[in-house]
Amino acid sequence: MADAGERTDTSTDIDADERNHRLERGQTAVVAASDSSDRSKDKTGDQKTLRRLAQNREAARKSRLRKRLKLTQLEQELQRARQQGIFISSTGDQSHTISANGAKSFDIEYGRWLEEHNRQFDEIFKIKGVAAKADVFHILSGMWKTPAERCFMWLGGFRPSEILKLLSNQLEPLTEQQVMGLCDLQQSSQQAEDALSQGMEALQQSLAETLAGSLGPQDPQGTWRIHGPDGHGHGQTRDARKVPSPDNLRQQTLQQMHQRLTTRQSARAVLTIHDYFSRLRALSSLWLARPESSNQIN
């Protein structure tokens, strides 16, 4: 009986162990299936992301191709317009086609001319900035300009708000939206000009006080001695370079002005600005060439 009891206990333990082992295998299988499902979901998500990125790249590639094709078509149309304008100018049966192609050619050339002029304007501002770092007084005094230009000069150049005021009367007809945009730009330019002027006046006042305080006694030759190494004014001169550049305001104003105008209006604005400064230079030439008798007081 004891042996039977022992065998019964042993078989019971074996059955329990086997059930536990099966249960563990089942749990492991469930966990493995869950991990496999998660990995499958992650893999599916990654595939969707990769597919979306590939679609975006393909769309960008097609967009670039369309733009390149459009540019090529414009180039070809311009070339054909030039050829037809030269070849058919002696005949009168296709005048409408010539006129249309000529107008399109003119618009394209106009736009290119304007872009080239703006690039040159930006280059001038860049070179002027380098010159200001080398000799700020030379730039602020406008030594390279004619006397009449210096008379109307503001901090080494033109006042953006004055140029906008000039153009508003020369670019008609303007839409109501354009008029409002130019007025807002003129007001913001005026505010920026006032801030720059105040900063420059404060710098000039500080420089004058520094120089006045550094003057020593007058020597027998009648010259003033300046105390301190290299003079105290050099630090203030270096501070002049920290003042925001008025040319940045001029450049930004011109860029924003072009954004509010059509291509032809922008080109007209460029010509008007050029004509304005040409008239100032002509005025200087007339003034310098005036007869000597006009300088004498009767």
Integer Cα distance of 118 and 253 in angstroms: 12
H or E element in which residue 217 lies: strand 215-218
270 contacts 117 by C-beta, under 8 angstroms: yes
Tell me the per-residue pLDDT of 244-274, one tens digit each, with 9 for 90 and over: 689 999 999 999 999 999 888 998 899 999 9
Give percent of the chain above pLDDT 70.
Answer: 62
Q: What is the mean pLDDT of residues 199-210?
A: 88
pLDDT digit string (tens) for 72-101?
A: 777 677 666 656 554 433 444 444 444 556
Tell me: do 130 and 150 sit in the same domain: no
Q: Which of 84, 101, 134 is the last residue of a domain?
A: 134
Q: In this predicted model, which residue has the larger pLDDT, 232 or 183?
A: 183
Q: Which of 15-19, 26-30, 227-231 has the lowest mean pLDDT?
A: 227-231
The pLDDT tens digits for 160-169 are 999 999 998 8
Signed CA dihedral, 57, 61, 66, 70: sign only: positive
How does pLDDT run across 112-129, given as a tens digit for each residue? 888 888 888 889 889 998
Token digits of residue 203: 């710098």
Within a domain: 1:
no
Does residue 207 sit in the same domain as residue 275?
yes
End-to-end Cα distance, the chain: 157
Please report which confidence band the pLDDT of residue 45 belongs to, taking 50, 70 and 90 as the band edges.
Answer: low
Cα separation, 298 vs 293, in Å, equals 9
Both 151 and 126 in one domain: the answer is: no
Helix boundaries (H) for 88-135: 95-134
Q: Based on the domain organization, do 261 and 151 belong to the same domain?
A: yes
| Residues 6+ positions from 102 with CB-CB distance below 8 Å | 81, 85
Residue 233: beta bridge partners? none
Residue type, 264: R
Residue 88 lies in a domain: yes
Domain boundary among 77, 111, 134: 134
191 and 73 housed in the same domain: no
pLDDT at 235 over 60: no
Global model pTM greater than 0.85: no
Judge whether 269 and 171 are in contact, CB under 8 Å.
yes
pLDDT at residue 61, as a whole number: 78
**What letters, b where the CB count within 10 A reaches 16 and e where it falls short, cover 104-122?**
ebeebeeeeebeeebeebe
Assess whether 180 and 130 both reside in one domain: no
Tokens of 104: 């399109």
- In degrees rounded to 5, what are phi and psi of residue 87? -80, -35
Residue range(s) defining the domain that contains residue 206:
146-215+229-287
Last residue of a domain, one of 112, 134, 156: 134
User: How many structural domains comprise the chain?
Assistant: 2
Q: Kindly tell me the burial class for residue 44, based on how many C-beta atoms sit within 10 Å of its own C-beta (0-12, 13-18, 19 or more).
A: exposed
For tokens 């004498």, the residue is: 296
Within a domain: 34: no
Q: Quick check: helix, strand or coil at residue 278?
A: helix
The pLDDT of residue 90 is: 40
Average pLDDT, the chain: 76
Model pLDDT, residue 203? 87
Residue 237, domain member (yes or no): yes
**DSSP H or E run through 255:** helix 246-260
69 is a domain residue: yes
Q: Tell whether 72 and 196 lie within a shared domain.
A: no
**Rounded to whole angstroms, how far apart are CA atoms 241 and 72?**
46
125 and 242 co-located in one domain: no
